[in-house]
Chain A
Amino acid sequence: MRVKRIILIIVLGLALLFYALPVYVMVVNGLKEATNVSMATMWVLPRQLTAGGFAEAWAMLAPNLRNSLIMVVPAALISSMIGAVNGYVFSKWRFRGSEILFALLLFGFFIPYQAILLPLVRFLQWIGLYGTLPGLVLTHVVYGISVTTLIFRNFYINMPNAIVEAATVDGAGLLQTFWRIMLPLSLPAFAVTLIFQFTNIWNDFLFGITVVPNPQAQPVTIALNNLSGSFSVDWNVVMSGAVVAALPTALVYIGLGRLFVRGLMSGAVKA
């Protein structure tokens, strides 16, 4: 048993090496001075630690971090909420043709976003949301509906129909049942969709850059990309910036990680 445990730790340790390798490169080079960062010395520890890269990255990214938060929280919440309602209808109130509608909805998960950029911009302009964070939120919500609906449908399908049945016998309507009975039981699935959506939306680049042209209003991924210019790059700032931009998602994982796995456990992802 003892031996087994040691072997386990060694194997996990080796895997950890693989996972830590890029993080090592990122952090070590983020801590160097601008002039000392180069590919030739990428593995070498900094001769003296400089937080200058981090300070600069923080100063340049902080406003955009806030933009990202303002955008990602409502976008993740709303798309999860809509997904929950949809998933509930598709699993517990199926009607003739509902499977087809579900398939049509799910298809949105797979479209290549490059294909719809131009019509998207024109449409957002038409409804007056182009260039604004609400416009970006709307975009992320719409393209998030498909996957959140899928997750919630798979989650609810594993819940006994008797719950809904009992409520309807008591005279509760479709939405009342959802609100009073289903929603309070849905926390694990919410953990899954929230984390999934948070990560995807946080790391999105394409929509952010096309929907919001004003740098003051752009999400952090765009600002991160802007740290490297066309003809000059300070790699230490870029590497530090990467760490800074990843912090919120990492915090969400630490906060919700246990719930995430619990949510997955409760069948949210089974086919």
Chain B
Amino acid sequence: MRRVLASNLRGSAWQRITRHKALLVLLPSLALTGIFVYGFIGSSFFFSLTNWRTLAVDLSLREPLWQTYAEMLAMPRFQADLRNTVVFSVLFIALAISMGLVLAILLDRQFAGRSFFRSAFLFPYALSFIVTGVLWRWIFNPETGINLFFDLLGINKALAALGIGPLAPGWTTDPNVVLSVNQAIAAVWPRGASFQIEWGIPVALIPVAIAATWQLSGFVMAMYLGGLGGIAQSVRDAARIDGASEFRMYRSVIVPMLTPITISTAIILLHVSLKIFDLVFAMSGVGPGFATDMPSIFVFEMMFKAARYNLGAAASIVMLLASCIVVIPYLVHTFRSRE
């Protein structure tokens, strides 16, 4: 189809005019993006190379030029932030996508109450992170929160009968890092032994990922419901005629067809997880031993509490590079698949 259009528009003079027109239409957006995104980032990058570390603006370049970056990468706190971003993104995206997919599949049929459930699951998306952070901090309080239900429901009695201690997780107050890979790294890369932090899964990040999942899985569900609605009934009928069970049908026919939606959803969730700020700030702050600290909080505190503009700017540039690592392959993939 496109080829037909293209051939119709082949005349080179016409094409030039079109190109000019198209550019003209895009111009306001491109100009605004040029200023608000690239211009501002450029100035932040410049700040990161200066001596500006108090409220008094000091735009002299630092000697050596990359000193602020070197200093930052050596900070255990910043290393923990990088670890936390990776771990949180993986946990959160995996949880939110599986939760959203399951809910969408459950709601992928006609029954009374369907739209009620859909609205109820979508509702958390309407709330402000600032508030939900506080709510989840209350719920995950190890003494007065959700842990009380483990007693009420008799789970702890059952565990005691089995000779196991009570189920009383510390949630966001737990400073432990599990599944540490430090030794594995040290085995292949001797310098890795000098890491100042544990490379593993900070336990305190799990409740944060649960809270973020709670907030966004309804959105994921809506995305999948959209996708499921776009799958023709004939596909399902064909699968049923082949004698596939409901489960088999979803697993081997429907879910693979939803892959494009999964990719889009993952990208949107990733933009949330890389930048997440309000929720963590209100829920657990930097966490015990920086277990729930995030680069966005680091940037915020360094720039606006410590007035270390160069350090905050440097961290924001690293955040940006981190998103490039994911976004650029996505863009390449998108364009490839269109060719």
> Which A residues are closer than 8 A to B by beta carbons?
5, 8-9, 11-12, 15-16, 18-23, 25-26, 39-40, 42-43, 82, 85-86, 89, 93, 95-96, 98-99, 101, 103-120, 123, 139, 141-143, 145-146, 149, 154, 157, 160-162, 164-165, 168-169, 173-175, 199, 202-203, 205-206, 221, 224-225, 238, 242, 245-246, 249-250, 252-254, 257-258, 260-271
Contact = CB atoms under 8 A, between A and B. Distances in A.
Contact of B130 (A15, A103, A205): A205
Contacts of B39: 119, 123
B177 interface: no
Contact of B128 (A160, A245, A258): A245
Contacts of A258: 115
A262 B227 CA distance: 9
Interface in B127-174: 127-132, 134-136, 138-139, 141, 144-146, 148
B260 A8 contact: no
- Category for how many chain B residues contact A: 35 or more
B1 to A, nearest CB: 5
B128 A242 contact: yes
Query: Is chain A's interface secondary structure helix, strand, loop, or mixed overall?
Result: helix
A65 to B, nearest CB: 13
Contact of A257 (B21, B33, B122): B122
Contact of A112 (B26, B109, B260, B319): B319
A229 to B, nearest CB: 14
A117 B315 CA distance: 14
A221 B282 CA distance: 13
Contact of A173 (B21, B29, B47, B124): B21
A149 to B, nearest CB: 7
B40 A264 contact: no
Interface stretch (B65-73, B188-196, B218-226): B218-226
A164 B5 contact: yes
B118 A15 contact: no
B128 A22 contact: no
Interface of B: 1-2, 4-5, 8-9, 15, 18-19, 21-23, 25-26, 28-30, 32-33, 35-41, 43-44, 47, 103, 106-107, 109, 111, 113, 115, 117-132, 134-136, 138-139, 141, 144-146, 148, 214, 218, 222-223, 225-227, 229-230, 260-261, 263-265, 267, 271, 274-275, 277-278, 295-296, 299-300, 303, 309, 312-313, 316-317, 319-320, 323, 327, 330-331, 333-335, 337-338
